[in-house]
Structure 1
């Protein structure tokens, strides 16, 4: 048996992680909404349909009335409210997880996921669908059309999953 006392987390450490997590929420949310505003009103992509940006990237306008990869698209006119409600419940769970996060980068990853989810909720409530416009394609393959919020969610989930898979448990 050890005579050492388990380390007690400092309030400063938790505060720093929470600030970083909420900063990630804000950065993702601002970048997502600003990019969508520019796509809709600056570039006028709904009228243009698709614009080649690079040999492997187009801006292609898609109104996503469903969820990831078009799943659950048959919910009907209540879809935006149903999907928004579920998303905001998930955001609350993410914020609770961010509060418990013991690593700075996990708090940031969770913040990115939450910021992306809120960005897509804003679209659903404002437009009735999510604004998707990034269309990557290469070597004869065309990916789904997505947005900045989706990218932040995927990157955050990958970081969080990698930590879960490859980190040693803390005593």
Structure 2
């Protein structure tokens, strides 16, 4: 039985490193910026960063994305959903080839975002800390945080990768199928 460096240090595989790096960056940035926002900003008081286009506005979201709510059970419900989602993402990570990089990076961003918002739900009942406020003088997007950026970017990257993988598989299937008798 041979002993490899992977036996002692599981992050040594490209797959695990590709997951761990964006995971750590997103999670640390999320926690640090949320604590900064809570310590620095007054609740619901916008601070212009780039005019009306980008403002810091501290809010607490007891629901999920875009203030989606399931009533008084929102905190418990979305906490359970986040835990289940992280477990599923880790299962997908284990199924990825050891040399994979892009899919694990997307999974890392998704998992970090889910955990970042879960931390807020578990630490107090006010809800998830949101503070990034973008829009115009007359229209505002939902206020969000770094975890939400991680989830959005990870989901977009994963969707693009799966779409590309599906197209490659379809082209391969078409090139290997026998020609029709009409030709």
TM-score (norm: length of structure 1): 0.83
Cα displacement string for residues 88-138 of structure 1 (whole angstroms, at most 9, x for unaligned residues) = 111010011112224301101110000000000000011221001101113
Residue in 2 aligned with 1:116?
Answer: 113
Q: Aligned ranges for residues 93-112 of structure 1 at < 5 Å?
A: 93-102=88-97, 103-112=100-109
Q: 1:90 aligns with which of 85, 91, 115?
A: 85
Residue pair 2:15, 2:104 contacting (<8 A) in 1 also:
yes
Other-structure match for 2:129: 131
Tell me how far apart the structure 2 counterparts of residues 114 and 57 of structure 1 sit (CA, whole Å).
Answer: 26
**Hey, what does 1:143 align to over in structure 2?**
141
Unaligned 5+ residue runs, structure 1? 1-10
Partners of 2:130 and 2:70 in 1: CA distance:
15
2:169 counterpart SS class: coil
1:130–1:119 CA distance, 2 compared to 1 (3 A): same
- Is the contact made by 2:11 and 2:17 (CA closer than 8 Å) also made in structure 1? no
Structure index of larger Rg: 2
SS at match of 2:34: helix
Please list every run of 5 or more consecutive structure 2 residues that lacks an aligned counterpart in the other structure: 1-5, 173-183
Alpha carbons of structure 1 residues 160 and 26: separation in structure 2 relative to 1, 3 Å: same
Q: How does 1:20-99 map to 2 (within 5 A)?
A: 20-41=18-39, 43-46=40-43, 49-55=45-51, 56-74=53-71, 76=72, 78-99=73-94
